[in-house]
Amino acid sequence: MRTPLAAPSRPFHFLGPPTRAGGSAPPAAVAMPRRRSAMGRGLSLLLAALALLAAPARAEGGAAEEEVKIEVLHLPESCSPKSKKGDLLNAHYDGFLASNGSKFYCSRTQNDGHPKWFVLGVGQVIKGLDIAMMNMCPGEKRKVVIPPSLAYGQQGYAQGKIPPNATLIFEIELYAVNKGPRSVEAFHQIDKDSDKKLSELEISQYLKEEFARDGKKRHPSVHDEILADIFKKNDHDGDGFISAKEYNVYQHDEL
């Protein structure tokens, strides 16, 4: 499995061992943001709405899948917001083999002990964790049991010390639920005429508003370069618009 959780809507700092069954080790993730050049900083302002990289490909298995068992260990009095597909989550977790109780992963020993960040429901963690962490709120703790078909399957994950056909147990503590990259809210905010596609004028205006909010002076060419780069990487059919489908690489149900 991939050790869950990468970083916020900027670079990602990814996790430890696991990746999904039959998959490769997790891709590099995003770390906390640092100071960049003017153009780089401008791009980071847009990352939440117009991430320029497509979501990782999802491997689909043909076998029937078993269920994830979820036990809520702690539920805060105020349980809001609840996590949904496409949200950016921040959490700590420990992973154990159900067969003998041995621990194969602890997020607190990685990344100087900082909680992990990842986008929920898009394949950045094993499928069982994507399922197990749905409808979870900040402060909530869960213990989940994930069958092999929703973890590493028949292949196992030798690098992570996970044998073939292993049932996994995770103890999870969720710290934050944020709007993820390319959120539905951001799309509607940019789509001023509600025609389900983003024009060059709409994105240009959004850029200007973000730059104004940021308060830093930039050469006018920075705006033009970022705008051109956005359309180069997102307008796949070349029609001069970024459609909901082109924008929606994280497959939000609402779009």
d(CA 226, CA 247): 16
In which band, very low, low, confident or very high, does the pLDDT at 127 lie, cut at 50, 70 and 90? very high
Last residue within a domain, chosen from 122, 150, 178: 178
Please give the residue that has the higher pLDDT: either 156 or 31: 156
Based on the fold, state whether residues 223 and 127 are members of the same structural domain. no
Locate tokens 């028949």: which residue?
154
In which band, very low, low, confident or very high, does the pLDDT at 216 lie, cut at 50, 70 and 90? confident
Based on the fold, state whether residues 162 and 188 are members of the same structural domain. no
What is the signed CA dihedral for 169, 175, 179, 181, rounded to 10 degrees? -60
Last residue within a domain, chosen from 178, 201, 228: 178
Across the chain, where does the E strand assignment appear?
Answer: 69-74, 88-97, 103-106, 116-119, 141-146, 168-178, 197-199, 241-243
Residue 227 lies in a domain: yes
Residue 41, H or E segment: helix 38-50
Last residue within a domain, chosen from 178, 205, 228: 178
What mean pLDDT is reported for the chain?
Answer: 77
Based on the fold, state whether residues 212 and 174 are members of the same structural domain. no
Closest among 86, 88, 105, 106 to 12, alpha carbons compared: 88
Query: In which domain, by residue range, is 140 found?
Result: 69-178
pLDDT at residue 188, rounded to an integer: 85
Question: Residue 29 in contact with residue 6, Cβ under 8 Å?
Answer: yes
The number of beta carbons lying within 10 Å of the beta carbon of residue 31 is 17
In the chain, the number of structural domains is 2
Task: Please check the confidence at residue 42 and state whether its pLDDT lies above 80.
Answer: no
Please give the residue that has the higher pLDDT: either 10 or 210: 210
Instruction: Collapse the DSSP code of 159 into the 3-class scheme (helix H, G, I; strand E, B; otherwise coil) and give the result.
Output: helix
The per-residue pLDDT for range 58-111, each reduced to its tens digit, is 334 444 558 999 999 999 999 999 999 888 899 999 999 999 999 999 999 987
Based on the fold, state whether residues 170 and 194 are members of the same structural domain. no
Based on the fold, state whether residues 111 and 163 are members of the same structural domain. yes
d(CA 149, CA 36): 42
Residue 208 lies in a domain: yes
pLDDT at residue 179, rounded to an integer: 79
Q: In CATH, what number is assigned to the domain containing residue 227?
A: 1.10.238.10
d(CA 238, CA 27): 29
The number of angstroms, rounded, from the C-alpha of 145 to the middle of its chain's C-alpha atoms is: 22
Closest among 4, 2, 252, 251 to 117, alpha carbons compared: 4
Instruction: Name the pairing type of β-strands 241-243 and 197-199.
Output: antiparallel
Closest among 170, 162, 118 to 142, alpha carbons compared: 170
Residue 77 lies in a domain: yes
Based on the fold, state whether residues 163 and 190 are members of the same structural domain. no
Based on the fold, state whether residues 161 and 78 are members of the same structural domain. yes
The per-residue pLDDT for range 4-16, each reduced to its tens digit, is 433 333 322 223 3
Please name the residues in contact with 193: beta carbons below 8 A apart, sequence gap of 6 or more.
202
Based on the fold, state whether residues 115 and 171 are members of the same structural domain. yes
What mean pLDDT is predicted for residues 217-223? 85
Based on the fold, state whether residues 106 and 170 are members of the same structural domain. yes
Token digits for 144? 């989940």
pLDDT at residue 70, rounded to an integer: 98
Closest among 67, 126, 124, 66 to 95, alpha carbons compared: 126
